[in-house]
Structures are given as structure tokens and as C-alpha cells.
Amino acid sequence: MPRFSISLAAAAAALVAAAALAQNPPAPAQPKEPAKAEDPSKAAPPMNIAFPGDAYILDIDIVTGEKLGEKTVPSVYMGRRLQFANEANAKKFAANPSEYMPKLDEAMIKAQTPYYPLKECVVSGHGADGEWLDVISQNRLYRLCCTDCEPMLRESPGEYLAKLDAAVIAAQKPNYPLDTCPISGKKLGSMGEPKNVVVGNRLVRLCCSGCMKKFMEDPRPAIAKIDAATKK
């Protein structure tokens, strides 16, 4: 067969293929779905040392219930400062925080209720609609009149924390049992106006702002001194 006949046949076949492609174009490539972000609620809590919210003043490890010693393992979970007796307990909590958070809230409510200063809701200013709704926000107990007040507390925690702090200071300052700083041991007033600090709805009076860092690292020894002086 002559060479030009083969070329004509090839050209004809190419034209047929091009026409078919025009009538049935290939489907456009589908864009890849972006990788889904990991649910932060399922991620392990950050095991770093930071100071959001109130300090941890319970004297127990919430994982095992054992008494905390002088040396603890600090952690932060969802803006809440925690302390553990050892690394193993901190890891147990990090692996399944939902198991321990209800126990933690229950323990904090029990510890703080005797010192709660307000007879009305800090959000609405009203009395309770039946029983108080006890809410722990960043390690602080708030007693609310109803469920409608909880979203407002969550939206503007600083506003209601300031009100609660002022009420704690007004209620506990007149009968405060120490006349010395629980951190430095210096006489209150010897370094200027004492610093009123509220943690866990407890008033602690420091001689100066220089004592704040040590106090916030672990308030338990200072709280223990206040409790011991109150019992005398």
C-alpha cells in the first residue's frame, strides 16, 4: 500500500477521535477535600505551665484522690489550672479528661460553697428560682439563679468575676485572721497598702505585689496558714 494512504487513514482516525472527545469531554478533576481539622475537644489538654483563671487550691489529686505533696505536676486544661501528684496521674487525666471533670467540679463546689459571699445571683441580681445553679468557671464557683444566666457568665466572665471578688473581700476582710503576709511573713501594711487577692472565693492578703508570683505558683501553703489561724 502506498505510504500516503497510510497517512490519510491515520489522519482520518485522528479526526474521528477528536470529534468523539468534543462530544464527550472528560469530567473535570474533582478538587481534593481539605483535611478535616482535629476536634480540639478530643485532643489531649496542653501540659504546659500557665496561669489562666483561678489557681488550683484543692489539696487532692483529682485522678486518684490522694493528697498532694509539696512537689506537684502543673497543667492547664481548657483554661483551668490543675495540679497532679505525679506525671502518671497527669497523663491519665490527659487521656480521658471527661472522666475526671465532673469529679473536679463537684470537689470545687464543695470546697468553695462555705465561703461564697452572695445571697443573690451575680449575673441577674435576683434570688434563686428554687435551688441555686452551681457553675464552675475557670476554677471559680458562681451560684446562679437559673440556666438563662450561665451563657451571660460565659460571655463576660471578667465583669462577673470583678463583682464576685469585691463581694468576697467585703465579706472576709473584717474577720481576716492574719496580720502578716503568708508568703513573706512581713507585717501587713509595712510595705504599703496590702494586696487583696481572691482565689477559690478565699481572700488572701499579701504585703506587696512582689509576693504575687510565688503565691500564684501554689496558693495551698498560704490558704493553710489562714485556715490554721482561723481555728485558733
pLDDT in tens, 104-127: 999 999 999 999 999 999 999 999
Cα→Cα distances 70→66, 189, 211, Å: 13, 29, 18
pLDDT in tens, 25-41: 555 555 444 444 444 33
The model scores a pTM over 0.85: no
Cell numbers for 2, please give them: 502506498
pLDDT in tens, 64-87: 999 999 999 999 998 899 999 999
Picking from 161, 103, 105, the residue whose alpha carbon sits closest to that of residue 134 is 105
User: Residue 10: which pLDDT band, with cuts at 50, 70 and 90?
Assistant: very low
Mean pLDDT score across all residues of the chain:
84
> Can you tell me the distance from the alpha carbon of 125 to that of 226, in angstroms, rounded to the nearest whole number?
30
pLDDT in tens, 169-185: 999 999 999 999 999 99
Looking at residue 36, its pLDDT comes to 44
Residue 44 confidence (pLDDT) above 50: no
Point out which residues pair with 35 in neighbouring strands.
none
Residue that wins the pLDDT comparison between 73 and 53:
73
Residue 191 confidence (pLDDT) above 70: yes
**Torsions phi, psi of 167, nearest 5?**
-70, -40
Looking at residue 40, its pLDDT comes to 36
Q: Where are the domains of the chain?
A: 43-110, 116-172, 175-232
**Whether the Cβ atoms of residue 227 and residue 218 lie closer than 8 Å to each other:** no
The neighbour count for residue 22, using CB atoms within 10 Å, is: 8
Percent of the chain with pLDDT over 70: 78
∠ CA 16-18-21, rounded to 5°: 110
